[in-house]
Amino acid sequence: MKTEFFKEPTAGAIERVGEILRAGGLAAIPTETVYGLAANAYDPDAVKKIFEAKGRPGDNPLIVHIADVSELAPLVQKVPASAKKLAAAFWPGPLTMILPKSDRIPMEVTAGLETVAVRYPSHPVANAIIKAAGVPLAAPSANLSGKPSPTSARHVFEDMNGRIDAIIDGGECSVGVESTVVSLAGKTPRLLRPGAVTLEMLRAVLGEVEMDPAVTDPLAEGAVASSPGMKYKHYSPKADVFVLSGTPEAFVSYINSHCDETTAALCYDEEAAKLSCRTVPIGKEFDFLTQAHLLFDALRKCDALGMTRVFAHIPRKEGVSLAIYNRLMRAAGFKVIYV
Ligand code: TXA
Ligand code: MG
């Protein structure tokens, strides 16, 4: 398949992408979190193509994207007070809510679940495309299944060229990690995937919010994942990733005595000069927003540089760093070295 590549999100490009989506095609679109691979959420055949293009397991449900808060109601059975509060506080933005689905949402979107995940992104190009398509858009991250999520159109091109109808370049994604996913389908709101809307921020609006154990830990043998996406190996470059737990000094000395020419360190900016291996700086030690913004690009860079092994700091489990912890631990397959 020939993939149309739009270098700029011009009005003409947005109109054309809207047309492709209305006709049942697939298009990769920018959002503020990561690029999404979009299809008409009301069209089961279009949605099935997403799974094929990504090589995505059939039991992993998709997020439906809307361009106005009022577009939530038709997709769900009812809009509870908790959803109204979260929408008022964080929409448009990097927050996905899970609610019991209405009949409008085909089972292909939810992978057979009775709930649907909905997000109203803040990226102006995403909004313009949803409006141009005239339908809600089902969209997972636009990477091949298992790869780090794409935070630039170049990343999407690497994974998806020839597999989808169109890619539209809207620049680098500002957030860099996928949206926070919170389930409102149970008795107590539950964080399923951490993101830029932090657990602390959710609790400030809702009061009690539980954290699913899969946010920080590998799924126990035989357990059922609340969010099917959490059970798969994820975000992985080809290189083998190891997370190092210890002080910044111990990090530097461990790496300097264990690295070779195909080892890279995902390091803080301030320590790059002290490391004797290839360094990929991801921001200052406490600058979680920059670290989130650079993380997936850094993992892809390690592959582009031909690295076979990557060492990274164990992230803090607070604020936006909880999202980095969640992604990096999966990228590492939970391999931690105590240094
Ligand atoms: O920021 C994002 O959320 C990006 C952009 C494109 O919007 N999308 C994204 O989609 O990250 P994806 O498919 O890569 O991740 C969706 C996650 C998966 O872990 C999936 O299992 C979970 O949301 N999910 C979707 N629907 C669900 C449902 N009904 N119940 C539980 N988990 C659900
Ligand atoms: Mg994904």
Tokens of 196: 């830029």
CB 293 within 8 A of CB 195: no
Q: Which of 32, 63, 160 best tests ligand 1's pocket when mutated (most atoms within 8 Å of CB)?
A: 63
**pLDDT tens, position by position, 319-333:** 999 999 999 999 999
Residue 164, pLDDT score: 98
Average pLDDT over residues 9-13: 98
220 CA to centre of ligand 2 in angstroms: 21
**pLDDT tens, position by position, 40-84:** 999 999 999 999 999 999 999 999 999 999 999 999 999 999 999
The domain 4-215 is placed in CATH, from the list 3.90.870.10, 3.90.660.10, 3.30.1360.120, 3.30.1330.40, at: 3.90.870.10
DSSP string, 6-67: ESS--HHHHHHHHHHHHTT--EEE--SSS-EEEEETT-HHHHHHHHHHHT--TTS--EEE-S
Residue 225, pLDDT score: 80
Residue 233, pLDDT score: 65
For the domain spanning 240-338, the CATH number is: 3.40.50.11030
What are the residue boundaries of the structural domains of the chain, listed by start? Answer: 4-215, 240-338
Nearest-atom index, ligand 1, CA of 143: 14
Average pLDDT over residues 302-324: 97
- Which of 127, 73, 130, 126 has its CA nearest to residue 99? 73
241 CA to centre of ligand 1 in angstroms: 23
221, pLDDT greater than 80 = no
DSSP string, 80-122: -HHHHHHHHHH-SSSEEEEEEB-TTS-HHHHTT-SEEEEE---
Output b/e per residue, 322-335; b: 16+ Cβ within 10 A: bbbbbbbbbbbeee
Residue 33 and residue 30: Cα distance in Å, rounded? Answer: 8
- Rounded (10°) angle between helices 124-133 and 11-22: 50
Q: In the structure, which protein residues have their CB atom closer than 6 angstroms to any atom of ligand 1?
A: 31, 33-34, 36, 60-63, 96, 98, 110, 113, 115-117, 119, 121, 139-141, 178-179, 181, 192-193, 227-230
Residue 237, pLDDT score: 87
Nearest-atom index, ligand 1, CA of 230: 19
Average pLDDT over residues 20-44: 98
CB 34 within 8 A of CB 150: yes
Domains 4-215 and 240-338 share a fold: no
Global confidence as pTM: 0.97
CA 23, 29, 32, 35: dihedral to nearest 10 degrees?
Answer: 120
- Residue in the block written with tokens 């406490």: 286
Supply the residue whose CA is at minimum distance from atom 21 of ligand 1: 229
**pLDDT tens, position by position, 87-127:** 999 999 999 999 999 999 999 999 999 999 999 999 999 99
Q: Which class for 216: exposed (0-12), middle (13-18), buried (19 or more C-beta within 10 A)? A: middle
61 CA to centre of ligand 1 in angstroms: 7
Residue 231, pLDDT score: 67
Look at strands 180-183 and 336-338 and give their pairing.
unpaired
Residue 67, pLDDT score: 98
